[in-house]
Structure 1
């Protein structure tokens, strides 16, 4: 019998979830504090962790390394408020299996848990961020042009820089380039540079020798070494620190790299594809991103427009995602109502394709009839808060009556924590926004 650890500092809510799961045949453990949860994870066999994001003196994300240390294949499911969705999406990049937004739907909770256990049985240690065969060509003119560029550049060995907002499918584009290239029989390794802490970035990319730094208990191969003759995809490349940029530039120029603490070098023969949702060209002019590294990465660029700028693709992708969701949940003959179609076409989709797919998956799960109606949509989709970039409430440099922290928080909430859009509205670049978020201790 599978054991599920429930972690929530709201005792009544946690016990309600515990009672529901017990009735469904699961064995459960409950922890109301972070420290209690840590003890249970270390002392007991836990098969799945279901944790609230906001805990007493920590967050659900802080449990991730503890769980993975005990058993890397144990799924962690994050429970989060809708305003924390951006954090939840980042949690998945850091190793969480899935997130569930409050208020919790019992059927959705049960489906996610069963899916986690099914995946664990089939492949307990395998994690594929981009399933093969899921690249979908859009029908918008710009989408078709981007697809032509992908087919043109794929057979070459040129480095490619993919530009576009979060959620537009940059990793799918990178995977598609790899699949159409002569390297398609070699590994494809995706690295989220935004999730790499400065202290470990060099180790993750290039590897280290035992004893190279405190905590280096054994030799470790880096991503560049493991990918061999395949393709390495460096997502959110603009988040790399200056020191790591220097090491990356040297590795690209010399086609050689060295593990931390090692004397010998190993050859680099992989193809490099990078992606960013920032203005790297502007950052290179301002000195925040090395200009020589920018040009090394940008031998060819592909720009993917946000979903709101290619309206023809909204329903096209919507129907594709509907088919996927029907198959996933074992349902059939469900259509999208005309009212929902109108909402989809007028909504700005700050999360782009990722958000569209999540909204449709949720709607299919909640749908009791043969038609997705407005009732199955999240409140934020039905009544979106529109933020005008042209009529920004206030620019950071002109702030007088409000503190920067208040303005940043207010704008993040208005944009549903879309950091790229928040930066544009506030008149700063994204890196400056990140620095201020860190400076003021703003939780995302």
Structure 2
């Protein structure tokens, strides 16, 4: 889908933020590993969450989405399965028989792949992991090497890979600056093993907020993890026992797009957010304040209001998903903004540093791209004629450039705008509610 976005500014208003995709992944996985069936309440459903549900079904869980909630019958649960509620989702069966090969189609979801690799190993499942888009290019070798040292081997270091064997307890050593998703996968898996395990980090951890989300979910489901000097200690032989009902929290990553729009051109409020959430992208509020915008909090709503903004320096090591929309904020700020420690963005759904540099230059923003950073000089002077942006099938590029169009006053066409379905299928609906004018081409 290609979509043309007019430069009509957004109106003041509020957006009800959908549930966090990151929290949704974690809730689904913990519920599928639990001893009892449960119901999850997730406001909004994306392709990435569908991938996680589909793979959990292949591992043996039964999941059904209904208007009243998402019903999860755990993997290997001996309880009877109510046929009117469970197990009919997407025509999936209940997973493989022991010893048989099952296929886990991760779609384009890096979280699904990296979380479930160690879990499949802990369960002793013989699995073939597949994916599409850029997912086969994204690195998993570091995790697979460490799993191989603990009894679980793969036949390659990129998708597709076939996994066999069963993980054993012990010391797992990983760099902290490659992917927090590796650590999350192990934190979910290691409590299931017999014997105590430890995760040791050899470098400073990045994207720590995502680890904190995982630890919060584990605690909710009765799993004990103890923080150690260089990582975590995880007792073995644990069982997941969660609440029979759980609500996923609102998504700060998606809220950031609307808050930046409010900070640039008016006043927009985001409802349904936990102001004490461990989500690292909650930092957007403090960053907008640092830019010079105004933010106000009332109960579970935060509102960003326009004031003159000035360029700042931003360390992206803990907030990589915010970088595309922070580039848009920087274009509206006087002076230069440097976003550094951002090299990992080159291995996301797209090379986000290169793509954002390309996109911002196309709309008349001065940009300097470096190996690990991007420097943006405030001001936008769009060229004459039609402006066409290639999304590179990246949901965050689509949303960032849509906000750039309406906030910076640039008419542009985005190719591959359907990429928003990966995380925020209702994005363009919300944009229209706030006065955004779009036309599907």
TM-score (norm 1): 0.28
Higher strand share: 2
Q: Which has the higher contact order (CA 8 A, sep 6+)?
A: 2
TM-score (norm 2): 0.28
